[in-house]
Structure 1
Amino acid sequence: MHANVYLPEDFLRHVETFLPSTLNMEDFIAACQRPLRKSIRVNTLKISIDDFLQKAQTNGWALTAIPWCEEGFWIEADENIVPLGNTAEHMAGLFYIQEASSMLPPSALFFGDEKFEAVLDMAAAPGSKTTQIAALMNNEGVLVANEFAASRVKVLHANIERCGVSNVAMSNYDARVFGGWLPEQFDAILLDAPCSGEGTVRKDADAMKNWSLASTKDIAQTQKDLIESAFHALKVGGSLVYSTCALSPEENQQVALHLTQTFGDAVEITSLQQLFPDAEKATTQEGFLHVFPQTYDSEGFFIAKFKKTGTHPAPTVKKRLGKFPFQPLTRKESSDVVTQLQQAMSISVPQHSTLWKRDHDIWLFPEALEPMLGEFRFSRMGIKIAEQHKKGYRWQHQVATALTNTDTTAVPLSKEDAREWFMGRDVRPEGLSGKGEVFVSYNGFIIGLGKWVGNRVKNGLPRELVRDKNLF
């Protein structure tokens, strides 16, 4: 950030006790005081890496590949006029602004080209790793995204929606519940645990204002509870990644080793030394990655990966779920929705998904979610694709974000009209008119779903995605 980064003396003395012999304190402090390189991750649910590179070149963005994430790039862009977050490409979900080391945990989870049917992200907001995992899953299977802080659920959902994710079920619980409620349910789990944030001072100069070793040890106890819950929720043979943006061993190695000490032969460590070229610079003797800010010129991070090799009795819980408010569509109802969606919007319902109804709303659920529906209460599942009314269906915005592709027919908008669209306003494409619902696009990518009213397209952008200033 700058030279005024706050680094408590107690913290620096603590760092001296565990800093590897290959590193030194002068470089550590200097790295903490340097501005953080901006980085982005291409969202391959929306665009290929090659196509994005062409758009970046057109926009004058200089990209440098991040070695541990094929879709990740450090970026140099002139943001004096338009911040990256207000570009059309970002608002349409083509990329996610994500710190480079934050891309490490999902990369570690899928290391070795692993394929997973059911994945749990235990602490998901704001959604950088959730959307990265969804892209690595190619929107297949089911991804349960849990966030304990109710205030952060809204932004999590907005990012999931913007990035075109369709295989997510969201929940809002203390993640310590998963081990008892959904034992041995997931093929893979990411626990990016709540932590002291010691590694984040390069983007938050005051991140360490309230640091103390005592609070670090208190946080570590919660982390140990969470990693035990994750282990119980993991299937035998499944993979678990534990990560933090902290630096202290109390929150990192000691929590990771607590798992092996608690469950013994039922868990084994997966070394991450071969995760990417030069990974050995950050690899501990156990096979964990302990990334200091100067190691790769990034935020500080810790990543550990485990494999569950044996079962262990999970905590018992009494379940009171209440009545499930959704009903599966009958074969005839499903056929009608599929036919109408194809005829009206030229959109096919994805394989391995099922249609459900709540009142007059039609939802698309991941098929892999169904075994959990009677075992756990989710706050939101899959995507809402339609509202049913007497004359048919009113299609929803997530059809545009999650079910379209580059071949989908859409009304192309000018730059001026696209800006109006993202500000929530209706547009009048020059020389065009029509009737019914229609997709709109800008520069070749879909940006929304509207409805023709004469020569005007009525804006259908959800309120939480509307932007009001500094647009491209």
Structure 2
Amino acid sequence: MTRQLPRQLEAYRDLLNETELNQLLESINQPLPSGLRTNPLKASANGPQAWQQQYGWQLEQVPFCPTGWQLRNEVGNLSRTVEHQMGHYYIQDAASMLPVELFELPPEAEPSVLDLTAAPGGKTTHIISQLQDRGLVVANDSNLQRIAGLKGNIQRWGSTSAVITNQPGERMGRWLPEQFDYVLLDAPCSGEALRTSERHTSRLVSSHERNTLQQRQIKLLESALQAARPNGHVVYSTCSLAPEEDEAVLDALLKRYPEQIQIMSIPTSVPIEAPGLLAAGSQHYDPSIAKALRLWPHLYNTAGFFAALIIKRDQIATPSLERPQQTLAKAGYKAVTADEQRQILDTLHAVYGFDLGKILEANGLSLWRNGKTIQAIPERWLNNFEHFPFVSAGIQVGKLSRHGFQPAHDLASRYAEQFSQQWLTINDQQIDDWLARRDLPLKTSTYAAGSIVVVRDQQQRYLGLGQIDGNSLENLLPHWQ
């Protein structure tokens, strides 16, 4: 017999049978397991096993995400480890790992990918990982207040291929029609995931708010479809289980573009049986929507989630819209000179044993200067979107002034294993002070005053850059770290 349902579950009573309702009720009364997703650009393949031993974690792999893990025991140090602060993993609920796994992203093809509503960046970093930091990833978000967090997470991940833009997602499809091989829309939603955590709290949503959200979701999905190339793939997802925000949105676009788009079957690499609804109340949906995934909390011990994979079969008539313009010069950038590039490459090679030239060539990057800051920007962006405004692009390489070149933390953190010289090791008792951005006392140093050194601990883990200043080591960790 079904027990008394909480108010937020009443709307779902007719969508599940009695057994499923009881399982759902049982699951939402349990604490949501913490989750993390490893960064293959930085973490070693045996990283999760090593972290279990070092931190006492009990990890269980997420069944639909090879780099995703859930903790079977509650720990308080997940966000305070060296590995988290240096970008070796991202803290993320397992359900949120689902959308990117629906793409079968081919790194060797170096595709262009748009994350239409990207902040805070969890799914963007997942895309970057799937592509092995190849191709071009445009992370857009319309909310300026969320851009700093998005930028920090992408910097911490160590990406060279990402560009961040701050534009209304509803217009991106008309500004950049048919420019992307893959588009992710993790749409703004009510967050009605039915299972709460510190990051996702439950609240009641009015019918007016639900309708407003649905109309925006439809506009955003249409924009995502416009931005995709013919035969391109679009993933639509929400962290809500409300049919009005999920199946109803897909149904609206299928009615609008019956010949141009099609819901695809979930790839075999995602072993989930959780079909979308064919009806909710008096509403009946296109039969193909059953191919979507409705991830109820009781199925895989996650929060609730919805995701669907769409293929754009043919062109969609897109009204032209004049795009915003901003030249690199107006944004403060100018290409580095040949002499400046030679100085940067020579310094990195002579002092740190690092071959930046090889990285620039392999990743299709070119060096640009904005004041003293040197940035390696993807040439794909410069060639295809040169005058489109952006917040940041590529990876910060360092600073160049009359005093010489100083490498950036972003570069050293991403390629720490290739910085073979100029290391300084601190002891375990100093790690907490260092990560708190405090300077450290130095008894002796083999490096001259003013030298920029690569700091590591006794386990050889990269901890940042520091500058020798007499009897102290000045902490150069960036403010966002």
User: Normalization by structure 1: what TM-score?
Assistant: 0.89
Where do 1:383-398 residues align within 5 Å?
383-398=395-410
Contact 1:327 1:356 in 2 (8 A): yes
Q: Distance in 2 between matches of 1:117 and 1:45?
A: 18
Structure 2 gaps, min length 5: 278-288
The one-letter amino acid of 2:352's match is M
* Equivalent position of 1:289 in the other structure: 293
Q: Distance in 2 between matches of 1:452 and 1:102?
A: 43
Alignment deviations for residues 95-142 of structure 1 (CA, whole Å, 9 cap, x no partner): 111100100111112368885421111111222111111111112222
* Equivalent position of 1:347 in the other structure: 354
Query: Deviation of residue 375 (structure 1)?
Result: 4.3
Query: Deviation of residue 204 (structure 1)?
Result: 5.3
Where do 1:196-215 residues align within 5 Å?
196-199=190-193, 201-203=195-197, 207-215=201-209
* Equivalent position of 2:12 in the other structure: 15
Match for 1:280 among 245, 248, 273? 273
Which has the higher mean CA deviation after the structures are superposed, 333-342 or 417-426?
Answer: 333-342
Which has the higher mean CA deviation after the structures are superposed, 320-329 or 305-314?
Answer: 320-329
* Equivalent position of 1:333 in the other structure: 340
Query: Deviation of residue 46 (structure 1)?
Result: 0.7
* Equivalent position of 1:362 in the other structure: 374
The one-letter amino acid of 1:333's match is E
Contact 1:109 1:190 in 2 (8 A): no
* Equivalent position of 1:174 in the other structure: 168
Q: Secondary structure at the match of 2:341?
A: helix
Is 1:418 matched up with 2:431?
Answer: yes
Contact 1:8 1:211 in 2 (8 A): no
* Equivalent position of 1:469 in the other structure: none
* Equivalent position of 1:470 in the other structure: none
Distance 1:406 1:113, change over 3 A: closer
Alignment deviations for residues 396-435 of structure 1 (CA, whole Å, 9 cap, x no partner): 2212222333764432221222211111112245653413
Alignment deviations for residues 375-410 of structure 1 (CA, whole Å, 9 cap, x no partner): 421111122222221132122221222233376443
* Equivalent position of 1:451 in the other structure: 467
Higher relative contact order (CA 8 A, sep 6+): 1
Match for 1:311 among 315, 340, 354? 315
Distance 1:20 1:114, change over 3 A: farther
Q: Secondary structure at the match of 2:258?
A: helix
Alignment deviations for residues 229-269 of structure 1 (CA, whole Å, 9 cap, x no partner): 00111112221111000101111112123232222222222
Where do 1:26-425 residues align within 5 Å?
26-76=22-72, 79=75, 82-110=76-104, 115-199=109-193, 201-203=195-197, 207-272=201-266, 274-277=268-271, 279-282=272-275, 286-324=290-328, 325=331, 326-349=333-356, 350=359, 351=362, 352-405=364-417, 408-409=420-421, 410-425=423-438
Q: Secondary structure at the match of 2:254?
A: helix
Aligned-residue Cα RMSD (Å) equals 2.5
The one-letter amino acid of 1:317's match is L
Distance 1:142 1:45, change over 3 A: same
Q: Distance in 2 between matches of 1:88 and 1:423?
A: 11
Which has the higher mean CA deviation after the structures are superposed, 413-422 or 66-75?
Answer: 413-422
Which has the higher mean CA deviation after the structures are superposed, 52-61 or 130-139?
Answer: 52-61
Q: Secondary structure at the match of 1:151?
A: helix
* Equivalent position of 1:438 in the other structure: 453
Distance 1:431 1:291, change over 3 A: same
Aligned length: 455
The one-letter amino acid of 2:67's match is E
The one-letter amino acid of 1:74's match is Q
Which has the higher mean CA deviation after the structures are superposed, 121-130 or 292-301?
Answer: 121-130
Contact 2:107 2:132 in 1 (8 A): no
Query: Deviation of residue 201 (structure 1)?
Result: 3.4
Contact 2:192 2:203 in 1 (8 A): no
* Equivalent position of 1:4 in the other structure: none
User: Normalization by structure 2: what TM-score?
Assistant: 0.88
The one-letter amino acid of 2:181's match is D
The one-letter amino acid of 1:387's match is K
The one-letter amino acid of 1:193's match is A
Q: Distance in 1 between matches of 2:383 and 2:102?
A: 27
Q: Distance in 1 between matches of 2:231 and 2:353?
A: 41
The one-letter amino acid of 1:419's match is D
Q: Secondary structure at the match of 1:194?
A: coil
Q: Distance in 1 between matches of 2:101 and 2:338?
A: 39
* Equivalent position of 2:280 in the other structure: none
* Equivalent position of 2:286 in the other structure: none
The one-letter amino acid of 1:201's match is R
Q: Distance in 2 between matches of 1:282 and 1:65?
A: 22
Distance 1:23 1:367, change over 3 A: farther
Alignment deviations for residues 167-226 of structure 1 (CA, whole Å, 9 cap, x no partner): 211112221121111111111111100001000532159844341233222211100000
Distance 1:23 1:122, change over 3 A: farther
Which has the higher mean CA deviation after the structures are superposed, 141-150 or 324-333?
Answer: 324-333
Q: Secondary structure at the match of 1:225?
A: helix
